[in-house]
């Protein structure tokens, strides 16, 4: 794909702004256009299929995150606008095919990892139900609307998808009693399947909405995934605004507002934990019966990413306590090695750190020293490839997973662009 003019102009601007940082400049020039250059296909119907990199499927989550860093450029570039709008239209079409699926094929070809024990159709690559899969396309659409003023994507199909999402989240507030969703994978690690007759472990009613899987595509230990519910609260607020301003649909406003309040009540009432060392923190997961999973995972939505998602501010004392916890050895997925320290995931080998979490730590930091340290870590752990990876060994960065992972490249690019806008590299 020939790069849109706004992207080319930004890369030229970076040549000047980052001239004193040659390796950073080279990595930015690799990572910023990576999604457009390698993972974006414009289809015959003018929608955009954005696959994740080394897997030929489109995740609702990853595809949104892969283009988010282009949003600030869309106001001035019609070509870039049309790519993002085309992606949104395809995402909405996929949600109509199956709102429980997380990843889809380019066409109805029956490609997938495994023949999982769940309802499948030829479009579905994988059917791991994750709250964030439904949050990301709404977030992308809202940010795109705010940047460009365009409302053509908020058509009848989008509106119907919004009602489908609200209805599904309400159903999953009472998962055991009402949900049709079942999932199992045979001959696999426990993290790839749901226990309890394909339903997941029992949960109590809390007001929150249930998730089978995390944004890592790993199974939830307990069904109420707190950061994903926080993301749902933010997205329901976006839906209220779209319904009010674009559609003048008071019924939709009310539906979204009521559900948002119920989920938020659940988070605040059942989703916090009084930690003896850190004080009141947000748990990663709970079941509503008093059991908590205290950890964080590199994949976003994460506890680390709470201010980035827009659920609360960096200054929120509960977030501050949570941040101290997740960036410590008390988080079982925080690792410290010779070349880096940061958050990894049970999704990758033990001890591996994810560049996504390092970029997110910098994006949510207000400490310049911390940001500089994180930039240095990102620059020295690319294994001299010039790109981000999924996870790497902090004691041996040449050992990494996924040489081609567009989400990580995009988040790194977003971080560098934000720092450029702030004038960070002039100091």
Q: What is the mean pLDDT of the chain?
A: 97
Chain segment 359-417, per-residue pLDDT in tens: 999 999 999 999 999 999 999 999 999 999 999 999 999 999 999 999 999 999 999 99
pLDDT of residue 427: 53
DSSP β-bridge partners for residue 343: 334
Q: Domain extents for the chain?
A: 5-426
Residue 12 has pLDDT above 70, yes or no: yes
Confidence at 426, pLDDT banded by 50, 70, 90:
confident
Residue 108 tokens read as 């109805």
Cα 59 to Cα 66, 108, 133, distances in angstroms: 10, 15, 8
Q: What does the alpha-carbon distance between residue 71 and residue 80 come to, in Å, rounded to a whole number?
A: 9
pTM over 0.95: yes
- The pLDDT tens digits for 200-227 are 999 999 999 999 999 999 999 999 999 9
What percent of the chain lies above the pLDDT cut of 70? 100
User: What integer pLDDT is reported at residue 1 of this predicted model?
Assistant: 85
Query: Hey, which CATH number is domain 5-426, 3.40.50.1100, 1.50.10.10, 3.40.50.10310, 1.20.120.80?
Result: 1.50.10.10
114-136 mean pLDDT: 97
Within 10 A of 380 (CB to CB), how many other CB atoms are there?
A: 13
């Amino acid at each position: 794909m020939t790069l849109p003019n706004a992207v080319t102009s930004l890369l030229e601007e970076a040549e000047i702004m980052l001239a004193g940082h040659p390796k950073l400049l080279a990595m930015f020039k690799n990572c910023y256009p990576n999604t457009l250059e390698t993972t974006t296909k414009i289809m015959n119907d003018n929608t955009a299929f954005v696959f994740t990199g080394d897997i030929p499927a489109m995740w609702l989550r990853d595809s949104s995150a892969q283009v988010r860093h282009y949003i600030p450029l869309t106001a001035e570039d019609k070509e870039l606008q049309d790519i993002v709008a085309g992606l949104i239209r395809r995402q909405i079409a996929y949600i109509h095919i199956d709102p429980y699926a997380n990843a889809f094929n380019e066409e109805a070809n029956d490609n997938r990892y495994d023949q999982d024990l769940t309802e499948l159709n030829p479009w579905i690559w994988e059917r791991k139900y994750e709250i964030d899969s439904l949050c990301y396309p709404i977030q992308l659409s809202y940010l795109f609307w705010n940047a460009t003023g365009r409302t053509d994507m908020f058509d009848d199909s989008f509106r119907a998808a919004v009602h489908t999402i609200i209805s599904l989240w309400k159903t999953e507030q009472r998962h055991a009693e009402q949900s049709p969703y079942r999932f199992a994978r045979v001959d696999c690690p426990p993290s790839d399947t749901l226990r309890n007759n394909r339903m997941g472990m029992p949960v109590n009613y809390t007001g929150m909405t249930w998730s089978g899987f995390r944004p890592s595509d790993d199974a939830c230990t307990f069904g109420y995934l707190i950061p994903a519910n926080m993301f749902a609260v933010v997205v329901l607020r976006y839906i209220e605004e779209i319904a009010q301003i674009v559609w003048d649909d008071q019924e939709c406003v009310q539906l979204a507002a009521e559900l948002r309040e119920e989920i938020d009540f659940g988070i605040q009432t059942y989703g916090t934990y009084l930690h003896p060392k850190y004080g009141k923190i947000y748990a990663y997961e709970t079941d509503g019966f008093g059991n908590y999973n205290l950890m964080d995972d590199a994949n976003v939505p994460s506890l680390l990413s709470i201010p980035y998602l827009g659920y609360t501010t960096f200054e929120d004392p509960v977030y501050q306590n949570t941040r101290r916890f997740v960036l410590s050895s008390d988080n079982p997925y925080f690792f410290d090695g010779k070349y880096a320290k940061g958050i990894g995931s049970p999704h990758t080998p033990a001890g591996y750190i994810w560049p996504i979490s390092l970029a997110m730590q910098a994006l949510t930091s207000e400490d310049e020293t911390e940001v500089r340290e994180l930039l240095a870590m990102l620059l020295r752990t690319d294994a001299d490839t010039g790109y981000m990876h999924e996870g790497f060994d902090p004691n041996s960065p040449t050992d990494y997973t996924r040489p081609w992972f567009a989400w990580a490249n995009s988040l790194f690019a977003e971080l560098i662009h934000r720092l450029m806008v702030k004038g960070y590299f002039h100091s």
